[in-house]
Amino acid sequence: MRDGILWTWPELCKALGANPVDGPAVRGVDMDSRKLAPGDLFIALSGDPGPRFPGARPSPRDGHDFLEAAYAAGAAGALVHREMPGGGPRLVVRDTLDALWDLGRAARTRTSARVAAITGSSGKTTAKTFLAQALGAFATPGSLNNHLGVPLSLARTPADARFAVYEIGTSHRGEIAPLSRLARPDVAVVLNVHPAHIEFFDGIDALRREKLSIAEGLRADGTLVCLDALDRTGVDPATGVITFGEDARADVRLAGFDGRRATIATPSGTVSAEVPGGGMHRALSLTAVAAVLVALGEDPGRVADMPDDAVPAGRGNRVEAGQVTLIDDSYNANPASMAAALRDLAEQQAEGRTVALLGEMLELGQDSERLHAALVPLCARIDRVLCVGAGMRGLHDRLEPERRLGFVESPDALDAVALTAVLEPGDVVLLKGSNRVFWARDFAARLRDALHARAV
């Protein structure tokens, strides 16, 4: 970043089609007045995005109502689409959401960074973090992967970045391709296709096509990186493809994995790499990252020996609290990621018991009961299972009685302090569920604090 300056005011004006005028230097961009740092540009978004983006949910909040708070937090200036009282530099545009996209588009145009964009039903943020670590690339923390997050990530990209990594998500048909065309990646990655958000798609094949539409945004000489077993029907045959996976036919192959260290065969040789957090699903994500490095002409050996803290929060992080090991995988869940987490838990060496605190998996549509019930065999090697949320009733009722730790209809009724009374020293506890069950309620931190307090 140029002396800490992300955008000059004349650059902002030009990016938004306004006559360049002098104004303050901008050091960051945000649309949440609570997260602003001094020197940031505040984008006052309307609470209703209208019909432009499939799956976009209206909010009762309007960013214009928080303009005064933004200036109080030290905002350098603001983008607004209606005049508001209060002092401070501002640019008035026709629509601030369109302006956010225009700013993202301008950011992509002005940088010569090599760009990778990642999609998949699970593991996007982890793979993004691994790849950014391997490349020393720019990447925003968290999961900014929708119609707001992707242009915001682009707008935050320094002009002098050498590499940038973005993630692109979907919950409805037609979301990925426009976001990929905005990001214009050199490498587009499809990690996997599982029945996440399947409620809003006409089956798994429709979801597969949606994930693969990330290739529509590739630059002319770009490369699609995808799982070797993925059916690529519908992808332009002229698109360059590099595959990864366990199959011998994969271009970049996970040749071995012992639970912690992966052996990855690449066209330039074999790499032995420590897998942050362990687990087969993360080993495959690391293999995908090696494939991206190959696609970019970089050394795939960069994936070796990443630190455990490369695993983003809520994606399987281990926390020791009150003589209990808590595996915080609470950020989100779908049937495949839930299965992977349960397999990993079953392999844990626990002094006490293995305990799974499982929140319901949302947006599974008519298959919800079947997919929850399908977890029963995976729980057969878990000592105790607590089921949370109406969707988990199908699992709880099918568990062996001695395995049941209880059923809680609503996550609002789950008491972290009361839960510590049934957890014993030496237990290894998995916390896994859809985002709105545990993560949105910050339940992992509440449980951790309750366990620490118990130990005092």
Query: Contact 360/372 with Cβ under 8 angstroms?
Result: yes
Distances (CA, A) of 391 to 375, 384, 410: 12, 18, 10
Contact 399, 298 (CB under 8 A): no
Question: Could you give phi then psi for residue 337, rounded to 5 degrees?
Answer: -70, -30
pLDDT at 345 over 70: yes
**Quick one: pLDDT at residue 123?**
93
Which CATH number fits the domain that encloses residue 18? 3.40.1390.10
Tell me, yes or no, whether 430 lies in a domain.
Answer: yes
Q: Does residue 455 surpass a pLDDT of 80?
A: no
Q: How many CA atoms lie within 13 A of 260 on its CB side?
A: 4
Mean pLDDT across the stretch 409-435?
A: 95
| 241 lies in the same domain as 280 | yes
Return the residue matching tokens 């339940």: 443
Q: Cβ(350)–Cβ(377) under 8 Å?
A: no
Q: Is residue 103 a part of any domain in this protein?
A: no
Distance separating alpha carbons of residues 312 and 124, to the nearest angstrom: 10
Is 305 found in the same domain as 325?
no
Are 169 and 80 members of one domain?
A: no
Report pLDDT for 196. Answer: 77
Residue 274: inside a domain, yes or no? Answer: yes
Residue-wise pLDDT for 185-201, tens only, equals 999 999 999 887 788 88
Domain boundary among 95, 122, 148: 95
Q: Which pLDDT value is given to residue 309?
A: 85
- pLDDT band (50, 70, 90) for residue 424: very high
pLDDT grade, residue 456 (50/70/90)?
Answer: low
Query: In this structure, is residue 2 part of a structural domain?
Result: no
* 144 and 54 part of one domain: no
What total number of domains does the chain contain? 3
pLDDT of 97-133, one tens digit each? 999 999 999 999 999 999 999 999 999 999 999 999 9
303 and 293 Cβ atoms separated by less than 8 Å: yes
User: Does 363 share its domain with 250?
Assistant: no
Residue 58: alpha-carbon gap to chain centroid: 21
C-alpha 334/C-alpha 371 separation (Å) is 9
Q: What is the DSSP letter of 312?
A: P
Supply the pLDDT for residue 3. Answer: 78
Lowest mean pLDDT among 199-203, 241-245, 364-368: 199-203
pLDDT of 1 reads 59
Q: Is the pLDDT of residue 86 over 80?
A: no
Question: Both 136 and 72 in a single domain?
Answer: no
Mean pLDDT of 24-50: 94
In this prediction, residue 375 has a pLDDT band, given cuts at 50, 70 and 90, of very high
Pair 44, 81: CB distance under 8 Å: yes
Looking at the structure, do residues 305 and 375 belong to the same domain, yes or no? no
Percentage of the residues of the chain whose pLDDT score is greater than 70: 99
d(CA 184, CA 129): 19
Using an 8 Å Cβ cutoff, are 355 and 361 in contact?
Answer: no
Q: Tell whether the model's pLDDT for residue 2 goes beyond 70.
A: no
Residue closest to 133 by CA, chosen among 288, 294, 265, 303: 303
Of 271, 288, 310, which residue is a domain's last? 310
What are the φ and ψ backbone dihedral angles of 291, each rounded to 5 degrees?
A: -65, -35
Q: Which domain holds residue 61?
A: 9-95
302 lies in the same domain as 187: yes
Residue 171 has a pLDDT of: 87
Task: With CA atoms as reference, report the closest residue to 456 among 287, 323, 262.
Answer: 323
Quote the pLDDT of residue 145: 95
Last residue of a domain, one of 310, 338, 372: 310
pLDDT confidence of residue 50: 83
In this structure, the answer to whether residues 257 and 117 fall within a common structural domain is: yes
Convert the pLDDT of each residue in 313-331 to its tens digit. Answer: 999 999 999 999 999 999 9
5 by Cβ neighbours in 10 Å (0-12 / 13-18 / 19+) ranks as: middle
Distance CA 303, CA 415 (A): 40
Do 134 and 32 share a structural domain? no
68 and 149 co-located in one domain: no
Residues 229 and 335 in one domain: no
Q: Is residue 105 part of a domain?
A: no
Helix H or strand E segment including 366: none
